[in-house]
Amino acid sequence: MKHIALIIFLFSFLVSGAQIETPRPSPLCTISQKVGLTDFKITYSRPSAKGRQVFGDVVAYDKLWRTGANMATVFEASTDFTIKGTSIPAGEYALFTIPGRENWTIILSNVARQSGTSSYKESDDRIRFQVPVGKCDNTETFTINFGNLNDEKATVELMWETTKVGFDVEVSFDEVVMKQISDVMAGPGAGECYTAASYYYKHNKDLNKALEWVNKALVNYERYWVLSLKAQIQAGLEDYSGAILTAARAKEMASAEGDDAYVKMNEERAADWATKVSTKKPKKK
């Protein structure tokens, strides 16, 4: 009976397909970042130095590197984007590099899912370019990061030991946003009016139209952040006196709700606009 019980146990163990999972020496990591309206995602494995000299030893100079460990690093973008003036279609790419002492070669390959570098072909390159080597604080584990972020671009930063290299990815979104505004503003609510006015102000478009929309937003949605936007638009139209009055109302409402940052911001703006009121020359009739 004991033998039969043992056989049943071993059989059930094998059938269950049980597996033992242990920590990986180079854990998998996925970093995501929205730039403008584009979603970027980089998936890579992160080796650590562990007391070793990395570049020139663990990672050879002047040889193709998978830019991490295990599988080749995968670089994804949800929309078309630009690197160094070259338009790159939305999609997945393999990110390869060739580290050098003074410059690195950065490569995006059209074949995204590759096992290391063994199947890499230069003919599959979507783009290949060089970037200078920089310095960073000592970084034990290989790290990819998005830095210098704004609406139009971000810098993809690669860091290990004290070596840092980076390249900019640039995006375009104005055409998409303007179409959305055109579609939505046919029958907009307060939120859409505020968003459209804010976009027009931030991107130096028609401020008279922006003022029209922010006023519509305020009809049923008087909030201090909406008033703050209106004050900025008025100042952009050189209506400094009107801007000061609007900022005062925004400051009053922000103070009542305990938002000290908006109180300070409106105070400083109103003080600046007051100097412009006193120096503004009257328009000739």
Query: What is the DSSP secondary-structure string of 66-89?
Result: -SSEEEEEEEEESS-EEETTEEE-
Q: Which domain holds residue 229?
A: 174-279
Residue 145 lies in a domain: yes
Residue 11 lies in a domain: no
Query: Do 152 and 126 lie in a common domain?
Result: yes
pLDDT at position 182 is 80
Rounded CA gap, 111 and 123, in Å?
Answer: 10
- C-alpha dihedral, 198 to 202 to 204 to 209, nearest 10°: 10
Quickly count: other Cβ atoms within 10 Å of residue 255's Cβ: 14
| Each residue's pLDDT tens digit, 143-157 | 999 999 999 999 999
What predicted TM-score, i.e. pTM, was given to this entire model? 0.69
Query: Do 153 and 259 lie in a common domain?
Result: no
CB 37 within 8 Å of CB 176: yes
Per the model's pLDDT, the better-predicted residue between 162 and 26 turns out to be: 162
Q: What is the CATH number of the domain that holds 269?
A: 1.25.40.10
Residue 190 lies in a domain: yes
pLDDT at position 285 is 43
Q: Which residues contact 99 (CB under 8 A, 6 or more apart)?
A: 55, 59, 60, 61, 62, 65, 163
Q: Among 8-12, 93-97, 105-109, 126-130, whose mean pLDDT is lowest?
A: 8-12
pLDDT at position 183 is 78
Query: Do 121 and 228 lie in a common domain?
Result: no
Query: Do 210 and 143 lie in a common domain?
Result: no
Mean local confidence (pLDDT), 266-280: 87
| Each residue's pLDDT tens digit, 73-91 | 999 999 999 999 999 999 9
Query: Do 108 and 28 lie in a common domain?
Result: yes
pLDDT band, very low/low/confident/very high, at 181 (cuts 50, 70, 90): confident
pLDDT at position 244 is 94
Work out the percent of the chain whose per-residue pLDDT is above 90. Answer: 74
Range from 13-22, 173-182, 191-200 that averages highest in pLDDT: 191-200
pLDDT at position 178 is 86
Residue 247 lies in a domain: yes
Query: Do 220 and 83 lie in a common domain?
Result: no
| Each residue's pLDDT tens digit, 226-267 | 999 999 999 999 999 999 999 999 999 999 999 999 999 999
Query: Do 160 and 271 lie in a common domain?
Result: no
In the three-class reduction of DSSP (H, G, I as helix; E, B as strand; rest coil), residue 146 is classed as strand
Query: Do 157 and 178 lie in a common domain?
Result: no
Using alpha carbons, select from 225, 231, 195 the residue that is nearest to residue 213.
Answer: 195
pLDDT at position 188 is 73
pLDDT at position 22 is 66
